[in-house]
Amino acid sequence: MDIRDIHTPVLLERCIELLAPAISHDGAVLVDGTLGMGGHTEALLQRFPGLHVIGLDRDQDALRIAEERLAPFSDRTTFVHTVYDGIATAIEDAGAGPVDGILFDLGVSSLQLDVADRGFAYAKDAPLDMRMDQTAGPTAADVLATYGEGDLRRIFERYGEERLAGRYARAIIAARTQEPLLRSGRLVDILQAATPAALKQAGHPAKRVFQALRIEVNGELAVLERTVPAALSQLRVGGRIVVMSYQSLEDRLVKRVLQDAAASTAPAGLPVELPEHTPRFRLLVKGAETASAEEVARNPRAAPVRLRAAERIKESM
C-alpha cells in the first residue's frame, strides 16, 4: 500500500500557511522535529523549492520510510536519528543554524499505532513495548513488572489523568503475582475487570492508562519541556515555530513556554518598557487552533489536535 494511503498529515495547509513567510526564500532551513512518515515535510519541499529540511525522529522505522518517501528530494533533506530534545545538536551538526522554521507534530504516529506489534494500541493484542525508539530503554512490560503500586498510581494520575488510577494500580499488582503482564490484551482485560460497571460507558478503560504508560516509557513530557525552549533558541529573527499537540498535558506545556516567550520581562510598575524587556516572540494564533469538522471526518486522528505557533521578533539580549 502507498504510504500516502495510511498517513494523512494533520492541519497540513494551516501549517504551510503559518510557516510560509519564514521559509519561502532560497536557502531556507526548516527542522521537522517529528518527521514520522514525512507527510508534512514532503508537502513543504514540494511547495518551497529553495527549502532544505532537517528531519528528526527517534523511530528508526519511521526514518527509513521517510527517507524512501523523500528520495526525490535527497539533495534538500538531512535525516537524524535522535529524540527531538537533540534539536540544537542536530542543527549544529548540519551546520545550519539559526533556522527559519521548526515544526513539531507531537504524540504517537500513525506508523506506531498501525503496526500491531509496537503495542501502542489498546484495541490490538500485542507485546507491551510502546517504545518509540525500539533500540533503547525499558518497555511498557518492564514498567508494569517493576513499578510499585504508588508509582503506577502516580503515572496513571499524572500522565493519564485517570480517576481510577489507584484501583487500576492495585489490580495490576495483584495480576502480576500470577503471571507477568507481557501483552496488551491481558492488560486490557485486567483494566476492564477493575472498572465499575457504572463507568464502563464513559470511554474505554484502557485509553488513559495506555497513554500514561506510553508517556512514561518514552519520557515524553520531560523531553518536551526541554525541547520547546531549545527550539525557540534556534530560530532566527523572523523564524517561525508550529507545534501540534494531541493531549492536554502536552498542550498546556507548549502554551506556557510560548506565552512566556511572548511576554514582556519588565518588572511590574516600570513606567517605560526598556528594549531589553520587550518580548522575543509574538504568538501567531489566538489560543489553540483545532481541525475543522470536515478534516476530522476525513481523518479522525485529527480530532484532538491543538495547534500553537509563534514568530521570533528579536534576538535575546
The binding site comprises 38-40, 57, 84, 105, 112
Q: Is 105 left (phi over 0), alpha (psi -120 to 50) or beta?
A: beta
Greatest pairwise CA separation for the chain in angstroms: 69
Residues 139, 217 contacting (CB under 8 angstroms): yes
DSSP the chain: --HHHH---TTHHHHHHHHHHHH-STT-EEEETT-TTSHHHHHHHHH-TT-EEEEEES-HHHHHHHHHHTGGGGGGEEEEES-GGGHHHHHHHHT-PSEEEEEEE-S--HHHHHSGGG---TTS--BS---SSTTSS--HHHHHHH--HHHHHHHHHHHH--TTHHHHHHHHHHHHTTS---BHHHHHHHHHHHS-GGGTTSS-TTHHHHHHHHHHHHTHHHHHHHHHHHHHHTEEEEEEEEEEESSHHHHHHHHHHHHHHTS--PPTT-SS--GGGS-SEEESSSS-B---HHHHHH-GGGTT-EEEEEEE-S---
- Rounded Cα–Cα distance for residues 19 and 30 (Å): 9
**Phi and psi at residue 27, in whole multiples of 5°?**
85, 5
Which residues are part of a known binding site for S-adenosyl-L-methionine? 38-40, 57, 84, 105, 112
